[in-house]
Structure 1
């Protein structure tokens, strides 16, 4: 009788160790994937910093860029030609009023330059499409402010 009780207790121990091993393996796999993604996000953030600096724009920290854009560009690269993406862009090109006083303006080219650089670094496959959308806008290099 003691042999069957001892055999059952070994089975329970093996099951517990097996489940614990699977959980630890899963956690290690997720941690490895996150570290790899974090390295890619940092590398792309540094590349964007160089582009922004070369364009004479304000340069956020590497961590700020990586947190917002990740390794894939985030929402900037998710269907940039969608209606919501275009409306967000167009909303930036207004006089700043709210409601009935809001009007489109001839904006400075620098307004879209940051998004163009993000697209260039994070999703170059969308660059031509976004450039065409910008080319359709009435922008100026001399805007009185």
Structure 2
């Protein structure tokens, strides 16, 4: 014959324990979901970075970065490069980087290697292809120098 003990724990105490356990489980589920989504996005970023490295290789541009390093900078959406690559500010920033490096009144435009712009174009083609045609027209309008061919 089996005997059962009479429950002496108050009902309120049992409901508090159950509530705490449920809250902890929900928090753990949310944390697990966040880690899962981040891992998936990181994986997509590495895949995109590998596509970019392959495009650089086909274009004859050597690159010493790993897909993980590129993914940290560009993510899976191109980061700042694809925020609005055809906006006036983005173009002005690019042109400033192509200047002679002098400050103030000594700043002058400089002829740059076409491969410098090709790298930027490949990033845009890989990460934000909708912007690529308009950016290609902008690049084609610039005077560049071909080196090595």
Among 109, 114, 123, the alignment partner of 1:118 is 123
Larger Rg: 2
Any idea what SS the aligned residue of 2:77 has?
coil
Q: Measure the CA separation in 2 of the matches of 1:86 and 1:43.
A: 27
Q: Measure the CA separation in 2 of the matches of 1:126 and 1:77.
A: 8
Deviations 1:77-122 (A, max 9, x none): 1111222211111012211212221101222211211110101111
Verify: 1:19 aligned to 2:23, yes or no: yes
CA RMSD of aligned residues (A): 1.9
Given the superposition, is the C-alpha separation of residues 132 and 4 from structure 1 closer, same or farther in structure 2, using an over 3 Å criterion?
farther
Unaligned runs of 5+ in 1: none
Deviations 1:37-96 (A, max 9, x none): 011001011111111122222311111101000100001111112222111110122112
Verify: 1:61 aligned to 2:43, yes or no: no
Aligned to 1:29: 33
Q: What does 1:1-145 correspond to in 2, within 5 Å?
A: 6-59=10-63, 60-142=65-147
Q: Measure the CA separation in 1 of the matches of 2:8 and 2:120.
A: 70
The alpha carbon displacement at 1:9 in A equals: 0.5
Unaligned runs of 5+ in 2: 1-6
Runs of 4+ off more than 3 Å: none
Q: Measure the CA separation in 1 of the matches of 2:83 and 2:134.
A: 13
Any idea what SS the aligned residue of 1:96 has?
coil
